[in-house]
Structure 1
Amino acid sequence: MEFLIGEPLALDLVNTRAQDFDVLDTPEVFGNWLDRQAGRLTSVGGPYTADDLGVVRELRAHVAAAVDAVRRGERPPGEAVGAINDAMRAAPAYGQLDVTDGGLTKGARRDGDRLARLLAQLAEAAADLLTDPAASRIRACEGPRCLMIFLPAHPRRRWCSPELCGNRVRVARHYQRHKTG
């Protein structure tokens, strides 16, 4: 099962659902998604239960609603903003000084259980994206039946992935041009 990653984390969360699958259907697939987000999420290792995935799915729906509104230049629904704020408050971040072999390092820690820490990080990523002026440039993939959204680095980008939807569209166009009679 392929899923799109590499967009801002909040968009990667929204993109965990597609036409034919949902990363949040099974703890194993969600664990794989978390592994692929290594370096962007901290202290969130699994395993997660089906109930946990339901909570993540709820946050994803709120993030998707807020992103969709911002894309359209509208105010995000109050319920979505409230849910994102609640998730951030559930596991507040704080700085911590650590002693290591190389000296001192400053790191960030969070209170809360593993699920609360995950939700807080996903919610903070959503808040960062939603308050970024670039959020108005988020686009939906033009691939047929594709639900993915992305933040284009280039204004002419039309597909979530040139290898996935871009290639499908090009192959379909080629077929239409060369189909015989």
Structure 2
Amino acid sequence: MSDTGPLTGEHLAIDLVNTRPATEDGRADLLDTPERLAAWLALEPALQSEVGDASPTAADLAPVHAVREHVDAAVHALLHGNRPPQAALRGLTEAERAAPAVRELDWDGATVTATPRRAGRLGVRLAARLAEAAADLLTDPAIATLRKCGADDCVAVFLPAHPRRRWCSPTRCGNRARVARYYQRHKNPTT
């Protein structure tokens, strides 16, 4: 995983928010093309059932981007101790409503199985699944532990598994911070 690639491994809704990292020129969009959306989807096992063999198109970007903006608004409001914007909550609800999951019943040879399936265009299905993940995150008591990365130039958020965690990624921001501290200590050595 490169420094410019998406961070994954957090809650799905947080991984989505973190696809807008800070750059020297502002913020990048790691989901700005169908190819980049496909690359991110390949890193997110929770979305594989929605994707299947489909490939994202330009038309699939808008619903995913809309959900990302709603999740971002809600998460950052909570991060600052504020009420999430009603428009963001309503937008997430509408995204889920556009492609509700229906449990498809089947027989596997020994038991009846129930697999959630959504109908509609890939982008709408993805948006619904991402909005569902956001609802799970926003209603989870763990949201109270949400943090912004401790690196000054990083906008990523995370749910710390350990109370002393400070960075979105120990190999990205953590290493940069350690290198910067080392440089500062050795730039002006005390004699």
TM-score grouping bracket, smaller chain normalisation? over 0.9
**Unaligned regions of 5+ residues in structure 2, if any?**
none
**2:51 match: secondary structure:** coil
CA distance in 1, matches of 2:55, 2:162: 37
* Offset at residue 48 of structure 1 (A): 2.2
2:129 paired with 1:121: yes
Q: Output the amino acid matched with 1:33.
A: W
CA distance in 1, matches of 2:73, 2:57: 24
* Offset at residue 98 of structure 1 (A): 1.0
Q: Output the amino acid matched with 1:120.
A: A
Q: Output the amino acid matched with 1:156.
A: R
CA distance in 1, matches of 2:19, 2:119: 26
2:148 paired with 1:148: no
CA distance in 2, matches of 1:54, 1:115: 8
Identity of aligned residues (%): 52
Q: 2:93 aligns with which of 64, 71, 85?
A: 85
Q: 1:54 aligns with which of 42, 62, 69?
A: 62
2:37 paired with 1:30: yes
After superposing the two structures, state which structure 1 stretch, 55-64 or 84-93, moved more.
55-64
1:58-77 matched pairs, under 5 angstroms: 58-77=66-85
CA distance in 1, matches of 2:161, 2:45: 22
* Offset at residue 40 of structure 1 (A): 4.2
* Offset at residue 128 of structure 1 (A): 0.5
TM-score by length of 2: 0.87
CA distance in 2, matches of 1:102, 1:31: 35
- Are the equivalent residues in 2 in contact too, given 1:41–1:118 (CA < 8 A)? no
Cα RMSD between the aligned structures?
Answer: 1.7
* Offset at residue 102 of structure 1 (A): 4.9
- For these two proteins, the number of residue pairs brought into alignment is 181
* Offset at residue 19 of structure 1 (A): 1.4
**1:23 match: secondary structure:** coil
- Are the equivalent residues in 2 in contact too, given 1:72–1:136 (CA < 8 A)? no
CA distance in 1, matches of 2:69, 2:169: 23
2:21 paired with 1:18: yes
